[in-house]
Amino acid sequence: MSIRLESVSMVSMGESIINDVSLAVERGTMNVLLGPTLAGKTTLMRLMAGLDKPTSGRILDDGNDVTGVSVRERSVAMVYQEFVNYPSFTVYENIAAPLRRAKRLSAPQIDAKVRARAQMMHIDHLLHRLPSELSGGQQQRVALARALVKEAPLLLLDEPLVNLDYKLREELRSEIREIFRRGSTTVVYATTEPQEALLFGGNTIVLDAGRVLQCGPALEIYDRPATIRASQVFSDPPINLIRAVIGPQGCRLSPSVAFPLARHMRALPQGDYRVGVRADHIGLAGHAEYGRLIPAKVELAEINGSETYIHAGHGDFQMIAVLQGVHKFGLGDEINLYLDPRRLFVFDSAGNLVAAPGENAGGTGAH
Amino acid sequence: MPTVDWSARGRAMQKWQNQRAWFLVIPVVVLVAFNALIPVMTVVNYSVQDIFDSTHRIFVGTEWYREMLLNTRLQHALLRQLVFSGLVLLIELPLGVAIALTMPRKGGWGLSATLVIVALPLLIPWNVIGTIWVIFLRPDIGLLGHFIDHTLGIHFDYPTVPIQAWISVMMMEVWHWTPLVVLLAYAGLRSIPDAYYQAANIDAASRWAVFWYIQLPKMRGVLTIAVLLRFMDSFLIYTEPFVLTGGGPGDTTTFLSIYLVKLAVGEFDVGKAAAFSIIYFLIVLVFSYVFYQVLLRAQRGEVR
Amino acid sequence: MALIEFENVAHSYLRSPARMEDYALRPMNLAWQDGGAYALLGASGSGKTTLLNIISGLLRPSAGRVRFDGRDVTDSSTVQRNIAQVFQFPVIYDTMTVFDNLAFPLRNRGVAAADVRSRVSEVAEMLDLTDHLRWRASGLAADEKQKVSLGRGLVRSDVSAILFDEPLTVIDPNLKWRLRRKLKEIHKRYNTTLIYVTHDQSEALTFADRVVVIHEGSVLQQGTPQELFETPIDRFVGYFIGSPGMNFLPCRLSGDGAEVVGQFVPLAATLLAKATQTTGLEIGIRPEAIGLSSSGSGLAVEIGDVEHLGTRNIATCRLGEHEIKVVVPPEQPILSERGILKFNPAMTRLYADGRLVG
């Protein structure tokens, strides 16, 4: 089913949680709702499901107005952060529950479906156990299987992996991705991690403080964030934002760092701006023509095994750079960082994107 | 799937949903009307009339009310009631919390046994409680009565000595209702995560500091409920003190409801009693409202 | 500050454990150097929290001795060991102000008021809490509350170690960076021993100088993040560390290399010399150490799924029935469905029955 929200707002206990949100979720697509905690993701999903009624606005399902229709009348399945399973039912009964309630299938049919889903989620050897006897990852798989067996046209997942171990999260993520690629369900997946949005691909909806900042394919938002806030929400590690002045000589970041404008910035009028550059576009060695030198002092170096994260300061701004390979730096070391002006996002004083790295800004990069 | 007119159905669903809820409420409304509203209306009716017999009634307006409010016996009964309820709170709350603190923190058969024993007084019918204590306090055959009278040498005769009557009523009341506070406080204590105790351990906090800074603040919610419940119940108390002392000696333990019943049933002064009932009801209402507001504010404070 | 040693420490939650499986922690000997930043990395249920509680004194081990600076502290309480601990969720005293929260451990130990004030101000400044000192602690955001929890451990100058039990669990991803940085700064400034328990390998690797990997109650490997990354001793360590984890391919020795599904992979000569058995062998190679190209010599594979993650792309390739994940730079286009993989011989490892060879 396709869902459309038109100017939906939700006010609860005097606080505006959702503010004039309009968005469209197409049938059969995978959608990621990305935003920091308390952005309103859970509330938005509850509105889509019919668990809550919006204070104003309309919700349309395949073109039909379902604002106010309770969730019992809609065909929705939902998976929560806290592994929610019926504690007194075995895994088998848990998965079979929605089918039994619908009362449309015979026992052998129910059995076949339950076993198929259990196998898909790799829990077919646990069918006789109770949820309390399972690990966190297994419980969440049961919840997923139960949501899937319903074959509801709309499936909502509210940060389902956030309470799981790191490695388990990785595994389940790829499994979920596989499952939804093959299916025809409309899926909405809420998360705080930009990585997951990029991994699932599909349509990404960036939410912050109850408003939709940007909507579109994940890579598109990644390459062209519409506002400063959207670029911040959609970056991990955090994007570097530096005040810049564009003048007759080019772009100036500080008394000692200035460079001619890259192609995508040439059309901009002079004035004050903020430029954004991603941590992986700052490197240690630059091609002389592309890389611009920024002498910086190391404030912190973290090694991730195959990458090094440097927090460095230059003048009055700080940067985070991700360097490939292992580099040992001490605190206070003076190093030279190079940034590629072709990779800069430029935001005006209102925070809107006015220039973004174009296709010709690719090349081999400054690593 | 057949096409459904979702928009109309959506609106109709909304309306239908709301109305369905009303239908569920109707039986309750009927019952409450029959059991409560109608009798209350009757009482109001009596409180504004002077009834001599079934054919002679005079509407007297607020005469009964004025008389009752100026009635010294009523005022004394109210005073006694307030002292009683105050003592109840002062004794039962700290005692209940203290007992809850000594109960085992981990589950197991020890805890279950303790819970059952603690809860026993709550299970006994109220007039039976009165009767139990009547016998318990008799100086000739009662365990406690005999002990006080013979072993401690104090002349124990609570039906005639006011202070002893008060102490007896208080003992019975505390014995009967402290378990409720204990259970509530224990539930509150159980909900405190272990990490807080560990952190206090690490911070070298004294036992008192753990109680004052961790346990008590975290029990705020349940204790407010306990205060609310105990105050309301003790304000309305009738059976147990009536069975134990009958309101005596004289009227030294005549609390509000005992006095009210004496008025209505003993003296058959229905008009006065009716007015008194309404006044009583209003007092309870005011206190309930005040406590409710306090409770609400405490909850909100915690949520933040 | 203390050197912490474990001598044959083991723990079982059962009263009479019979087999190895009954032990939550198998017998181990460990040493934590004074002033080091350590991470205990493991999945849920691996025993890492048990280990942490034994260090802090909240749990007494069923066997073995724990020593601080040579002194046997196995029977000492947490207070006596001078340990500070930060928990998964912020533990603060709601009714007190931030100042009082931070001053609490000092006041309980009878420290003079003037010293309390100076110490608290110093720590508050370090943690960027100076503006909040007069606020009620219950009114702060989650990450600030965690900082207060942390601050209570820092105010004490005599603390032997600060233990962290997955402290960033409730913190927003963007704020995790800030807190991690704070922890590093604190480590640099105070040089206290910090022991950090987590299941998140990137948190562990970025925080610690040395990482201890625990699995099913045993310590599998201890080393610097780089050592764990490049030379994992156990198959599990290779899988657990790195995102995605190490690729493992069953192989047979053949000539001066190995044969995988009929194709040849060169191995370093030093590695071949150390191989003592010929069965149960696997090649272990990290996705970052594999180069993908469209032509040339190497392993011919089918390219399946490609995940675009912005900073890099991950290609899942198939060789027969085996899956190989490869990290590809974002600028490199992947156009066809077939490709050639080149393994970096210096980073290609050999595993016999799950243990590293050489």
Q: What is the pLDDT of residue B178?
A: 95
Q: What is the pLDDT of residue A290?
A: 59
Taking the C-alpha atoms of residue C234 and residue C221, their distance in angstroms, rounded to an integer, is 8
Helix/strand/coil percent split, chain B, to 5: 75, 0, 20
Give yes or no for A167 touching C (CB within 8 A).
Answer: yes
Mention every residue, 6+ apart, whose C-beta is less than 8 A from residue C7: C29, C64, C65, C66, C67
Instruction: Find the helix packing angle between B194-202 and C142-154, rounded to 10°.
Output: 30
| A32-46, A161-175, B117-131, C100-114: range with lowest mean pLDDT | A161-175
Q: What is the pLDDT of residue B84?
A: 93
Mention every residue, 6+ apart, whose C-beta is less than 8 A from residue A334: A295, A296, A297, A298
Taking the C-alpha atoms of residue A190 and residue B191, their distance in angstroms, rounded to an integer, is 30
Give yes or no for B18 touching A (CB within 8 A).
Answer: no
Q: What is the mean pLDDT of residues B215-234?
A: 88
Inform me whether the pLDDT recorded for B1 exceeds 60.
no
Structure confidence by residue, pLDDT tens digits, A145-174:
898 888 888 899 999 888 888 888 888 888
Q: What is the pLDDT of residue A158?
A: 92
Taking the C-alpha atoms of residue C11 and residue C63, their distance in angstroms, rounded to an integer, is 6
Please list every residue in chain A whose beta carbon sits closer than 8 Å to the beta carbon of residue C226: 303, 305, 326
Q: What is the mean pLDDT of residues C139-154?
A: 86
Tokens of A243: 């005040």
Please list every residue in chain C whose beta carbon sits closer than 8 Å to the beta carbon of residue A167: 43, 199, 201, 239-240, 245
Q: What is the mean pLDDT of residues B22-50?
A: 86
Pairwise CB contact (< 8 Å): B202 & C84:
yes
Nearest CA in chain B to C139: B304
Find the Cα–Cα–Cα–Cα dihedral A343, A347, A353, A355, rounded to 10°: -40
A332, C253 contact by CB (below 8 A)? no
Q: What is the mean pLDDT of residues B26-39?
A: 87
CA A225 to chain centre: 13
- Backbone phi and psi for residue B150, each to the nearest 5 degrees, phi listed first: -90, -50
Please list every residue in chain B whose beta carbon sits closer than 8 Å to the beta carbon of residue A73: 13
Taking the C-alpha atoms of residue A272 and residue C33, their distance in angstroms, rounded to an integer, is 51
Pairwise CB contact (< 8 Å): C152 & B203:
yes
C103, C120 contact by CB (below 8 A)? yes
Nearest CA in chain A to C306: A199
Q: How many other CB atoms sit within 10 Å of the CB of residue C112?
A: 10
Nearest to C87 among B195, B204, B213 (CB): B195
Give chain A's domains with CATH numbers. Answer: 3-225 (3.40.50.300), 237-355 (2.40.50.140)
Structure confidence by residue, pLDDT tens digits, A91-121:
999 999 888 887 788 888 889 989 988 888 8
Q: What is the mean pLDDT of residues A130-139?
A: 84
Nearest CA in chain A to C186: A300
A163, A82 contact by CB (below 8 A)? yes
Inform me whether the pLDDT recorded for A363 exceeds 50.
no
Give yes or no for B191 touching C (CB within 8 A).
Answer: no
Q: What is the pLDDT of residue B298?
A: 64
Pairwise CB contact (< 8 Å): B199 & C87:
yes
Pairwise CB contact (< 8 Å): B195 & C149:
no
Tokens of A123: 């829990």
Nearest-Cα distance to chain B for C213, in Å, is: 25
Nearest-Cα distance to chain B for A13, in Å, is: 12
Nearest CA in chain C to A163: C169
Please list every residue in chain B whose beta carbon sits closer than 8 Å to the beta carbon of residue C91: 195-196, 199
- The partner residues of C342 in beta bridges, in order of sequence, read C291
Structure confidence by residue, pLDDT tens digits, B171-186:
999 999 999 999 999 9
Pairwise CB contact (< 8 Å): A237 & C177:
yes
Please list every residue in chain B whose beta carbon sits closer than 8 Å to the beta carbon of residue A50: none
Give yes or no for B12 touching A (CB within 8 A).
Answer: no
Nearest-Cα distance to chain A for C273, in Å, is: 27
Taking the C-alpha atoms of residue C168 and residue B283, their distance in angstroms, rounded to an integer, is 52
Report residue A340's pLDDT band, with 50, 70 and 90 as the boundaries. Answer: confident
**A30, A207, A240, A302: which to substitute to probe chain C, counting the most C Cβ within 10 Å?**
A302
Give yes or no for A270 touching C (CB within 8 A).
Answer: no
Q: What is the pLDDT of residue C197?
A: 92
Q: What is the pLDDT of residue B170?
A: 93
Q: What is the pLDDT of residue C101?
A: 92
More confident residue, A207 or A38: A207
Structure confidence by residue, pLDDT tens digits, A245-290:
888 878 888 877 888 888 888 888 888 888 888 888 888 775 555 5
Q: What is the β-pairing status of strands A345-347 and A203-208?
A: unpaired
Q: What is the pLDDT of residue B87?
A: 92
How many CB pairs (< 8 A) connect A and B?
A: 24
Q: What is the mean pLDDT of residues C306-320?
A: 86
Share of chain A above pLDDT 70, in %: 96
Q: What is the mean pLDDT of residues B65-75?
A: 86
Taking the CA of residue B222 as centre, how many other CA atoms within 13 Å lie in the half-sphere pointing to its CB?
A: 22
Whole-model pTM? 0.77
Q: What is the pLDDT of residue A365?
A: 36
Q: What is the pLDDT of residue A364?
A: 36
Tokens of A59: 């919700």
| A18-32, A148-162, C254-268: range with lowest mean pLDDT | C254-268
Please list every residue in chain B whose beta carbon sits closer than 8 Å to the beta carbon of residue A70: 13, 17
More confident residue, C102 or C226: C102
Q: What is the mean pLDDT of residues B81-106?
A: 91
Nearest-Cα distance to chain A for B13, in Å, is: 7
Share of chain C above pLDDT 70, in %: 99
Structure confidence by residue, pLDDT tens digits, C202-211:
888 888 889 9
Q: What is the mean pLDDT of residues C59-88?
A: 87
Pairwise CB contact (< 8 Å): C331 & A363:
yes
Give yes or no for C56 touching B (CB within 8 A).
Answer: yes
Q: Report the candidate in C124, C130, C141 with the shortest Cα–Cα distance to residue C186.
A: C124
Q: What is the pLDDT of residue C247?
A: 92
Inform me whether the pLDDT recorded for B304 exceeds 70.
no
Taking the C-alpha atoms of residue B23 and residue A240, their distance in angstroms, rounded to an integer, is 61
Q: What is the pLDDT of residue B301?
A: 55
Q: What is the mean pLDDT of residues B184-201?
A: 90
Please list every residue in chain B whose beta carbon sits closer than 8 Å to the beta carbon of residue A59: none
Three-state DSSP string of chain C: CCCEEEEEEEECCCCCCCCHHHCCEEEEEEEECCCCEEEEECCCCCCHHHHHHHHHCCCCCCEEEEEECCEECCCCCHHHHCEEEECCCCCCCCCCEHHHHHHHHHHHCCCCHHHHHHHHHHHHHHCCCHHHCCCEHHHCCHHHHHHHHHHHHHCCCCCCEEEEECCCCCCCHHHHHHHHHHHHHHHHHHCCEEEEEECCHHHHHHHCCEEEEEECCEEEEEECHHHHHHCCCEHHHHHHCCCCCCEEEECEEECCEEEECCEEEECCHHHHHHCCCCCCEEEEECHHHEEEECCCCCEEEEEEEEEECCCCEEEEEEECCEEEEEEECCCCCCCCCEEEEEECHHHCEEEECCEECC
Tokens of C110: 């009878």
Mention every residue, 6+ apart, whose C-beta is less than 8 A from residue C356: C231, C232, C233, C234, C284, C349, C350
Taking the C-alpha atoms of residue B148 and residue A42, their distance in angstroms, rounded to an integer, is 66
More confident residue, A363 or A116: A116
Pairwise CB contact (< 8 Å): B9 & A69:
yes
Give yes or no for C174 touching B (CB within 8 A).
Answer: no
Q: What is the pLDDT of residue A185?
A: 85
Pairwise CB contact (< 8 Å): C79 & B202:
yes
Q: What is the pLDDT of residue B2?
A: 47
* Range A159-197 burial, b when 16+ CB lie within 10 A, else e: bbbebbbbbbbbbbbbebbebbeeeebbbbbbbbbbbbb
Structure confidence by residue, pLDDT tens digits, A38-79:
888 999 998 888 888 888 888 888 888 888 777 777 888 889
Give yes or no for A236 touching C (CB within 8 A).
Answer: yes
